[in-house]
Amino acid sequence: MCGILGQVNFKTVSKNQDKFQKSLNLQEHRGPDDSDIYVDDKIIFGHRRLSIIDLDSHAKQPMVSSCENFVLVFNGEIYNYLEIKKNLLKKNYTFNTSSDTEVLLNSFIEYGIDCIKQFIGMFAFSIYDKKKNETFIVRDRLGIKPLYYFSNDEKFIFSSEIKSILELENIERKLNINAVSSYLSFRYPILNDTFFENIYSLAPAHYIKLSNENTEIIEYWNVTDKFKEQKNDKGEAYYLDTLKELLESSVKYRMIADVPFGAFLSGGVDSSVITALMAQNSTEPIKTFTIGFEEEGFNEFSYAKVIADKFQTKHTEIILSGKDYLHTMEELIEYKDAPLSVPNEVPLYLMSKELKKYITVVLSGEGADEIFAGYGRIFRSPYDLERIQNLDNLNLSDAEKIEFIKEFAKKYLVENFSTEVDHFLNIYSYTSLSEKQKLLNNDIDLEEIEKLFIDKFMSYFNELKDDSYYNKMMYAFEKVHIVGLLHRVDTTTMAASVEARVPFVDHRLVEFAFTIPLKYKLKWNSEKDKESAKLLMSDKISEEYDTPKYLLKKAYEGTIPDEILYRKKMGFPVPLNNWFGGHFNEYAKEVLLSKEARERGIYNIENIEKWLNSDKLNADHGFAMKVWMLINLEIFCNKNMFNQIRIHND
């Protein structure tokens, strides 16, 4: 786990090593153990090292091949590097280190860019081939590791963090309004852009090939074909056995390290399963960590303790206050080069800082909800649309049909939807278009920006054109939601020089998950329950009449106590409403009604002031969350010196 920075020159030869080193050092938190750069006429590659596998200095980067033709910078881990190395040894390759970095380098020499198809891991890397004058820049399949880039006619710059690009190139800082709108709706930019105009994020499962002045962006992995296998139902026993086999393999791979490791333990299903598998595959007690707030009802310590006691972990509880939260929020925004997406990023960062005293690698449970249908209220919602669009064909009385129409309109605020994408955006968008039009400057053409988002989701749905709406929704979550989730994990851990590993997004497990028929993920408790729920909306059905994430829960019955497996899902609790009733409200007004905010040209200050004085602020969590996001946006803008915004939507 590290930070990387690279510059590929098309025309000019730039050898300002001091400036490059200064830009690279902005990522010192990602790699505090070592640093080096490589320079020749065409490239400058830099690396900040967090030593995890092979701590010897011979494994440092940038790494040059023994033939001196190839140069590599690499952030991440190749977990199956020992198996790949074994095959390369049979082909007479020699190794000077025991690192996965050298295995990656020799794999590329042997197999070319197709080497990435062999890798089980998380990675963002670049390899330069001197003889061919070709550079490949690669991001892992699910987007676990970040990779940003900027290019013009003279050069191409890539980096693990945006701040290094800004420092190296002296780019004029212009706020990307599309990203602002996307953030308010989806919590992060979904168009492979960033909050900075002209700086982009390489999409997961893609690589960039630079050859002379030609630039190609190529997708190398996709799961759409896996959905077709659902038609061949192999039975619950098969899916249970395969799930357990793959997940145990995934966890065991992620326990490979030459430094101490542990686990985040929230007391939920996903972290509990990971902790159990780690304990079963370790001769030493696993170190586990959980965090919560001092306010009553805003921690899950009791549930985490059940698992910690059962598996005899070395468990640490961390308690936060609102005062800790505000200061840390501003600090973390600087690390992220973006507004925070969800309130629990702050406690995750503080927990990472604490656990760094004990470990360097932590396993975390992200991704299980997305691939095993854990968000029951959302993943059951296609059932709402299915019924409203086939109401005349349902076995319902006229009175029941009237009641159903009433409940549908109450939930969705419309009587029907013209497309599946319209329905999806209604439930997935955190802030609606009409709300954004109230909160942002009237001169911003939000309707045009919204069309970009609709087109994006429509393209994902069209990739599964003949498949069920359920599968289209799950695919959209894989393409969009997981990426934002993984970015949060990377930021909050790497800011504390901790490597997070995420077993549920092992690509083998993701591929398998999308072959599983829906009935094994989101299972009706009984036919009687399904009948009882015929007039209810998805939010009333979920976890009352069905079981989200059924297969995962069933697989670990007997290993994880039922009180953990089958308790109702709750997000990471942060007491926003409590705070907005007190000191946080004053803080919000200081930030959002400041002279700088008024002059920035983004907001509709009059409407924001009404929101800040509303009684809903300390009563409605969703309302408070939107204000929290605006605060994050303004802090981010202020820190990046975005002055008067020119309203344009390029």
Residues catalogued as catalytic: 2
Burial class (CB in 10 A: 0-12, 13-18, 19+), 170: exposed
Compute CA 14 distance to the chain's CA centroid, rounded to the nearest angstrom. 34
CA trace torsion 317, 321, 322, 324 (10° rounding) = -80
CB 140 within 8 A of CB 76: yes
Return the closest-CA partner of residue 384 out of 587, 535, 606: 535
Coil vs helix vs strand at 92: coil
- In angstroms, the CA 616 to CA 621 distance is 8
- Please state, in angstroms and rounded to a whole number, the distance separating the CA atoms of residues 505 and 145: 12
Q: Could you tell me the two tokens for 441?
A: 């400057």
Q: Tell me phi and psi for residue 49, to 5 degrees.
A: -105, 130
Q: How much is the CA Rg of the chain, to the nearest whole Å? A: 25
SS3 state of residue 581: coil
Full DSSP string of 263-318: EE--SSHHHHHHHHHHHHT-SSPPEEEEEEESSTT---HHHHHHHHHHTT-EEEEE
Single-letter code of the amino acid located at 159: S
Q: How far apart are CA 226 and CA 222, in angstroms?
A: 9
Q: Which of 585, 580, 628 is nearest to 343 (CA)?
A: 628
**What Å distances lie between residue 431 and 198, 338, 523, CA to CA?**
25, 18, 30
Coil/strand/helix, residue 48 = strand
Q: Pick from 497, 425, 413: which is nearest to 454 by CA?
A: 425
564/573 Cα distance (integer angstroms): 17
Look up residue 550 and give its two tokens: 């059924």
Look-up: residue for tokens 């399949």? 141
Three-state DSSP class for 2?
A: strand
Contact by Cβ (8 Å): 268, 300: yes
- The three-class DSSP label of residue 603 is strand
From CA 499, how far away is CA 76, in angstroms rounded? 9
Contact between residue 71 and residue 43 where contact means Cβ atoms under 8 Å apart: yes
Which two structure tokens, joined as six digits, stand for 322?
Answer: 């609102």
Residues in the chain: 650
Handedness of CA 433, 438, 443, 444 (dihedral sign): negative
Helix (H, G, I), strand (E, B) or coil at 147: coil
H or E segment and range at residue 47: strand 43-49
